[in-house]
C-alpha cells in the first residue's frame, strides 16, 4: 500500500472533547472521525486495525468450534416482550416504530434473536451442543458516551451464544470460550487479566470479565498479591471475621449537630473517627423502600445490595422520600425508629457497638446506638466495597486495586432465555428439555482503543504487530531519486513476499513530517530508505516500541530484516 493512495488524514491537534489518550491519538492518526455523540466513522487506517482484531477473534472462535452467522440489527419488540426484557432494559435500548406502527429496537445484544433462531431449528439432543457467533455493529444509547471508541453508542461486538443439553455441557462450553478469550487477548499482545465478575443474584462463578489493565479504565479490579485471585470490585467478597460485640448499657442520647449532614462533618464536629458512625443509606428496590447500613468510613457496594434483595431495579431514595421515611432532611437518617421495615446491615457492624447514627430529626444525631437493642434489623450481609487493607477472600493475602477496561465477558446464562422463550430439545428418552445457554461478548472496537491506552508515548501510538494497521512502514526519504525509489519498491516486494503487511510513505513531504507521522500512527517496524544510507550500503530501521534504531545492510537485507523482525516481535512477547 502506498500512502499517496491511502487516506490517512493525520492531525496536529486532538479534538477538544477528547478526554483519554486513545480518543486523542485515534483522531490525530486519522483512524476515526466523529459523526455524532458516541458514533464514529472508522477511517481506512482505523478499519484495518479493527478488522485485524476481528480476524483474530474469528480464528479463535472457529478453532473453539463456534460457527459464524450474522443476525439483523433491527429486532422486533415481540421477542423482547417474550423474554421480558422490553420493560426492563431501560433507555439504553433504542426503540422505534415502523410504518405499520409496529415496535422495534436496535440490537444492543442478541439473546432474543438467537434463541428464536435455535428454537425454530434445533429439535434433537443430537444437534447439541451448538455455539453461534457474529461480529457486528451494536447500538446502545449509553447515558454517557465518551472516550471515543471506548464507550460508544454504536460499536462493534463479537457476540457468541452456546446451547447445551445440561449443566456439564454448559461448563464445557464456558471453559472453551474462556480458553479462546485467553488465546485471543494473548495473540493481541495485550496486558490483561481475567477477573471474576458479578453474576447477579444467582451468585457463584458464573461470569468472568477480561480486563485490559490501564489507568483510564472505568472498572476497578481487585487483585491478590499472593495468589491468582482477581475480581471486579462489584463482585469482590469482603471477609469479615471476629466475634460479635453488641452489648451496651449506656442509654441512647440525642446530640445536636447543626448543619452537619455528612459523615466527615459529624465526625469532626463530635471529635470521633468516621468508623464510629453508621452511614444510613435509603434506597428504593423494585418500588419498595429499603435501608442499608455501613460503617461511616466504608462505601456501600450497590451491586451486592441489589443481589441480596433479588431486585431488578435499585435507586437511591429521593429527598422527598427521605423526608417522608425519616421525618428529617437528607443527612440525618438513622435506623432507630425509621419508617422502613427492611433494614440490612453490613457484616462489619456486628463487630462493634456504641454507634453514632442520624436521629431522624433535622440537625440531630443519636449516640450510644446498639443495633441489637435499638434497631429492628432484617439481617447482616456482605454489603460494602472491598478496599486496600482488606484481605483476599481466597487466600487471606494482601489485595491491591487497579484500573481495568472490560474488553470481554463470558457469562453462564442458564435457562433465563430458553425458559422464557420456550427453547427446547428432545432428549434420548423422548422427553422435552430446556436448553442451557451461555453468552460471550468481546468489544472489538473497544479492544483497539484499549490497546492504545496501554501502548503509547508522547509521539503517538505504539501498536503491537497483530492489530497494527500495517506491520511495517517504509519511509522513502528521496522520492525524486530513481535509485532510492527502485530500492523502496524492491524492499516493498520483498516484505510482501515474506508476508509482512507494509505501507510505503511515498509522499512528497519533508523527512521530518514522515518521521512524525510514522511515530503517530504507530506502525511497529519503521524502515528508512534514503540516498545517504544507501550510499553507505545501509537501511536504517526503528522499533517503534523501544525507539531503538539499527542499521541493516543492503547486501543480505532479507536475512538481516528477518532477524530484526524477530527481535521486534519478541519484544511484544510474540514468537
Query: Given the rule CB under 6 A, which residues bind ligand ATP?
Result: 109, 140, 142, 151-152, 155, 157, 406-409, 441, 443, 445-446
CA 348 to CA 387: how far, in whole Å?
13
List of residues 6+ apart from 13 with CB closer than 8 A: 28
Choose between 236 and 529: whose C-beta lies nearer to ligand ATP.
Answer: 236
Q: Of 174, 241, 164, give the one whose Cα is nearest residue 409.
A: 174
Whether the bond into 282 is cis, omega within 30 of 0: no
> Alpha-carbon torsion 304, 310, 315, 320, what sign?
negative
CA 184 to CA 177: how far, in whole Å?
10
**CB of residue 454 vs ligand ATP: minimum separation in angstroms?**
15
**CB of residue 403 vs ligand ATP: minimum separation in angstroms?**
13
Which cell goes with 89?
432494559
**CB of residue 20 vs ligand ATP: minimum separation in angstroms?**
13
| First-residue to last-residue Cα distance in the chain | 26
Q: How many CB atoms lie within 10 A of CB 501?
A: 16
Which cell goes with 319?
429527598
Choose between 151 and 304: whose C-beta lies nearer to ligand ATP.
Answer: 151
**CB of residue 212 vs ligand ATP: minimum separation in angstroms?**
9
The enclosing H or E element of 533 equals: helix 531-535
List of residues 6+ apart from 229 with CB closer than 8 A: 196, 222, 223, 392, 393, 394, 395, 399
CA 73 to CA 157: how far, in whole Å?
12
Separation of CA 270 from chain center: 42
**CB of residue 133 vs ligand ATP: minimum separation in angstroms?**
12
Q: Of 471, 497, 487, give the one whose Cα is nearest residue 534.
A: 487
CA 189 to CA 49: how far, in whole Å?
14
Choose between 211 and 375: whose C-beta lies nearer to ligand ATP.
Answer: 211
Answer for the pair 195, 221: CB distance below 8 angstroms, yes or no. yes
Choose between 138 and 350: whose C-beta lies nearer to ligand ATP.
Answer: 138
**CB of residue 334 vs ligand ATP: minimum separation in angstroms?**
34
Choose between 222 and 328: whose C-beta lies nearer to ligand ATP.
Answer: 222
Choose between 109 and 280: whose C-beta lies nearer to ligand ATP.
Answer: 109
**CB of residue 31 vs ligand ATP: minimum separation in angstroms?**
15
Choose between 215 and 457: whose C-beta lies nearer to ligand ATP.
Answer: 215
* H-helix segments, 273-391: 302-309, 319-326, 371-374
**CB of residue 494 vs ligand ATP: minimum separation in angstroms?**
38
CA 198 to CA 195: how far, in whole Å?
10
Choose between 408 and 460: whose C-beta lies nearer to ligand ATP.
Answer: 408
CA 316 to CA 282: how far, in whole Å?
6
Choose between 92 and 559: whose C-beta lies nearer to ligand ATP.
Answer: 92
**CB of residue 42 vs ligand ATP: minimum separation in angstroms?**
13
CA 397 to CA 226: how far, in whole Å?
6
Choose between 109 and 347: whose C-beta lies nearer to ligand ATP.
Answer: 109
Beta strands in 355-462 (DSSP E): 355-358, 364-369, 379-381, 399-414, 424-426, 432-434, 436-443, 456-457, 460-461
Choose between 301 and 326: whose C-beta lies nearer to ligand ATP.
Answer: 301
**CB of residue 147 vs ligand ATP: minimum separation in angstroms?**
9
**CB of residue 168 vs ligand ATP: minimum separation in angstroms?**
24
Choose between 181 and 470: whose C-beta lies nearer to ligand ATP.
Answer: 181
CA 561 to CA 563: how far, in whole Å?
5
**CB of residue 164 vs ligand ATP: minimum separation in angstroms?**
20
Q: Give the residue nearest to ligand ATP (CB).
A: 443
Amino acid at each position: 500500500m502506498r500512502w499517496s493512495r491511502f487516506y490517512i488524514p493525520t492531525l496536529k491537534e486532538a479534538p477538544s472533547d477528547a478526554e483519554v489518550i486513545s480518543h486523542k491519538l485515534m483522531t490525530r492518526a486519522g483512524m476515526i472521525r466523529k459523526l455524532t455523540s458516541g458514533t464514529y466513522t472508522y477511517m481506512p487506517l482505523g478499519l484495518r486495525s479493527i478488522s485485524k482484531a476481528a480476524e483474530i477473534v474469528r480464528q479463535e472462535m472457529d478453532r473453539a468450534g463456534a460457527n459464524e452467522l450474522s443476525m439483523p440489527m433491527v429486532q422486533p419488540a415481540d421477542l423482547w416482550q417474550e423474554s421480558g426484557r422490553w420493560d426492563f432494559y431501560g433507555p439504553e435500548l433504542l426503540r422505534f416504530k415502523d410504518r405499520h406502527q409496529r415496535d422495534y429496537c436496535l440490537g444492543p445484544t442478541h439473546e432474543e434473536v438467537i434463541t428464536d433462531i435455535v428454537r425454530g431449528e434445533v429439535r434433537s439432543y443430537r444437534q447439541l451442543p451448538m455455539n453461534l457467533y457474529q461480529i457486528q455493529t451494536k447500538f446502545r444509547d449509553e447515558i454517557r458516551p465518551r472516550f471515543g471508541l471506548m464507550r460508544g453508542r454504536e460499536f462493534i461486538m463479537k457476540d457468541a451464544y452456546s446451547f447445551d443439553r445440561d449443566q456439564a455441557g454448559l461448563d464445557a462450553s464456558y471453559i472453551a470460550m474462556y480458553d479462546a478469550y485467553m488465546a485471543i487477548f494473548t495473540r493481541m499482545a495485550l496486558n490483561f487479566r481475567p477477573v471474576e465478575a458479578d453474576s447477579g443474584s444467582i451468585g457463584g462463578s458464573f461470569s468472568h470479565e477480561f480486563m485490559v489493565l490501564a489507568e483510564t479504565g472505568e472498572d476497578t479490579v481487585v487483585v491478590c498479591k499472593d495468589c491468582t485471585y482477581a475480581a471486579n470490585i462489584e463482585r469482590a467478597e469482603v471477609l469479615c471475621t471476629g466475634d460479635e460485640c453488641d452489648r451496651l448499657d449506656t442509654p441512647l442520647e440525642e446530640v445536636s449537630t447543626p448543619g452537619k449532614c455528612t459523615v466527615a462533618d459529624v465526625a469532626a464536629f463530635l471529635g470521633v473517627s468516621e468508623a464510629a458512625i453508621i452511614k444510613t443509606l435509603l434506597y428504593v428496590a423494585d418500588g419498595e423502600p429499603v435501608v442499608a447500613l455501613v460503617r461511616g468510613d466504608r462505601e456501600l457496594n450497590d451491586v451486592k445490595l441489589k443481589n441480596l434483595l433479588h431486585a431488578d431495579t435499585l435507586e437511591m431514595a429521593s429527598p422527598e422520600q427521605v423526608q417522608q421515611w425519616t421525618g428529617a432532611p437528607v443527612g440525618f437518617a438513622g435506623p432507630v425508629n425509621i419508617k422502613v421495615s427492611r433494614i440490612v446491615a453490613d457484616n462489619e457492624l456486628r463487630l462493634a457497638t456504641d454507634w453514632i447514627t442520624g436521629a431522624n430529626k433535622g440537625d440531630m444525631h443519636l449516640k450510644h446506638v446498639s443495633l441489637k437493642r435499638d434497631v429492628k434489623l432484617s439481617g447482616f450481609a456482605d454489603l460494602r466495597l472491598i478496599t486496600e487493607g482488606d484481605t483476599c477472600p481466597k487466600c487471606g493475602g494482601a489485595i491491591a486495586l487497579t484500573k481495568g477496561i472490560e474488553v470481554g465477558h463470558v457469562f453462564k446464562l442458564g435457562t433465563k432465555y430458553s425458559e422464557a422463550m420456550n427453547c427446547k430439545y428432545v432428549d434420548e428418552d423422548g422427553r422435552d428439555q430446556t436448553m442451557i445457554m451461555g453468552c460471550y461478548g468481546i468489544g472489538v472496537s473497544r479492544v483497539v482503543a484499549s490497546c492504545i491506552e496501554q501502548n503509547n508515548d508522547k509521539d503517538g501510538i505504539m501498536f503491537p504487530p497483530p492489530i497494527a494497521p500495517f506491520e511495517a512502514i517504509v519511509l522513502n526519504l528521496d522520492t525524486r531519486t530513481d535509485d532510492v525509489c527502485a530500492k523502496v519498491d524492491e524492499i516493498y516486494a520483498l516484505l510482501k513476499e515474506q508476508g509482512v503487511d507494509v505501507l510505503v510513505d511515498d509522499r512528497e513531504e519533508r523527512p521530518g513530517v514522515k518521521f512524525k507521522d510514522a511515530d503517530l500512527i504507530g506502525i511497529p517496524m519503521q524502515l528508512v530508505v534514503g540516498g545517504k544510507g544507501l550510499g553507505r550500503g545501509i537501511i536504517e530501521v526503528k522499533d517503534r516500541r523501544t525507539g531503538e534504531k539499527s542499521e541493516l545492510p543492503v547486501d543480505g537485507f532479507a536475512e538481516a530484516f528477518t532477524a530484526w523482525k524477530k527481535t521486534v516481535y519478541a519484544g511484544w512477547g510474540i514468537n
